[in-house]
Amino acid sequence: VANFQENCSGWQFDREESYDISVARFQLTNGSTYIDLPKELKGKKACVNVKNNDNKCYAAAIAVAILRRKKNAERYDDELKRFMKTLIWEGIELPANPWKASEKFKRNNPGHAINVYEYYEYEKDENQRLSILRVSDKMCESKNKIINLLLYSNDETNHYV
């Protein structure tokens, strides 16, 4: 309505007739260790699924996004672990909460903006779901490197890719 009024539409706002409010229970999930992705995601070849065996998949996913390795990007090897140590993880608990960790990472490592999406798949629900968990407020600043993470969740665990 405001756009129409500001752009000389001739419209005038009088009143609102009704409001719709939706409330849903939301349980925040943390990423943990490696899990295989479903065929639908693997087939797109758009995600690097680091094969970590600890709770550092958040850190590994960020490091892989910054490094952009051409070969064997999914390996959780010494090169990746060394690079992870060059980033500042102070105040970030792993496994990581997508909101708290992303804010702290952004403060600790200026020049990076992190978006987090979630793809979840549960046996009791035949549908797969993709949703936005967090969009960085620094995306519009051209000097920032945009890091897009996907938090994949299933009945057993969660994992950042």
Task: Of 144, 139, 117, 121, give the one whose Cα is nearest residue 46.
Answer: 117
Over residues 9-41, the pLDDT tens digits come to 566 667 777 777 766 554 555 666 788 888 888
CA distance 72 to 23: 43
Task: Of 94, 63, 91, give the one whose Cα is nearest residue 79.
Answer: 63
More reliable by pLDDT, 152 or 82: 82
Would you state the torsion angle of the CA atoms of residues 151, 133, 69, 113, taken in this order, to the nearest 10 degrees?
-150
Read off the pLDDT of each residue in 57-61 and give the average, rounded to a whole number: 93
138 pLDDT tier (thresholds 50, 70, 90): low
The whole-model pTM stands at 0.75
Contacts by 6-15 with C-beta closer than 8 Å and gap 24+?
none
7 pLDDT tier (thresholds 50, 70, 90): low
